[in-house]
Amino acid sequence: MADSVFDAVVSHAARRILEKLEKGKKLTVEDLLLLHLDLQYRELRELRGGLDSLRRELLERLEALRREVTLRMEELGRRVDRLYELRAGEGRG
């Protein structure tokens, strides 16, 4: 919520500053700071989006690895059970 409000305010300020430029007016220090803030905010949003995407990919990969390890552990358990049964059968004979 706060992000969308901030985005709207900074975007509006940037548009007004660009209109000022189109009219050939000089920019104030505050105008330049707002443009810089807008640029930084946009870059931060892009980074955040990239991080969210990377996080999702990592979670998917971790889940795939967890499933693979679980399957291998189950297979190992079955092998151990078979060996135990074979040894138990040898002891009777």
Q: In this predicted model, what pLDDT tens digit does every residue of 3-53 receive, in sequence order?
A: 788 888 888 888 999 899 999 999 999 999 999 999 999 999 999 999 999
- Residue type present at position 64: A
Q: In this predicted model, what pLDDT tens digit does every residue of 53-65 receive, in sequence order?
A: 999 999 999 999 9
Q: Alpha-carbon distance 82 to 64, whole Å?
A: 27
Nearest CA-CA partner of 26 in 39, 17, 37: 17
pTM of the predicted model as reported, rounded to 2 decimal places = 0.60
- Per-residue DSSP letter, 46: H
- Boundaries of every domain in the chain: 2-92
- Tally helices (H) and strands (E) across the chain: 2, 0
